[in-house]
Chain A
């Protein structure tokens, strides 16, 4: 079974620009979560989508948004980029308890975003 894929793997953007990152979950997984990982803050939860609905949101400004499509693929968008947005953005998919109460998450390789 194919794992979680994320595109692009690397991005370099300039302050003030916007960026869209894409995530394709494992087949059959309807929950997709996004995280920001930085050396200083660790893994910070951004949001979680299930069946095209945002169910949970972390403590990030409104510049961070996301969506999920009917095939469970998800995108996240960051507008008006700031230097502090430089990070590894990870996407994780899960069965979200649909089978035997399993909630473990399976992560993609991440998108490394550098804002200059």
Chain B
């Protein structure tokens, strides 16, 4: 069964303290892995799509990487405005239009 696990569930960082969030997956043929950011009371906001092992995408202080079994979202020198829940989702080759989401990592960056 296709499954997505995110860790840690929650992460507290001081402003400027870099860290990484993990998304591990089991899927019958990965077509794409997606990262989203969700602020309280809002819907998830699309960040990145990764398609193949070794691929990297960057946006401001965020960098997403992908291996054959997991993806990392690296946060460099975070700021308080980076505080949010980060979700990853996988898309399998046998169904491009169905996505499996992890339960998310709640990031809190303190000034």
Contacts and interface: CB of A to CB of B under 8 A. Distances in A.
A62 B93 CA distance: 27
Interface residues of B, number: 23
Nearest to A47: B98
Contacts of A109: 41-43
Please report whether the interface of chain B is mostly helix, strand, loop or mixed according to DSSP: strand
Contacts of B100: 45
Given A42-B103, A42-B104, A104-B34, A56 B98 contact: yes
A45 B43 CA distance: 14
A110 B96 CA distance: 23
Interface string B60-93: 0000000000000000000000000001010100
Interface of B: 32, 34, 36, 41-46, 49, 87, 89, 91, 95-104
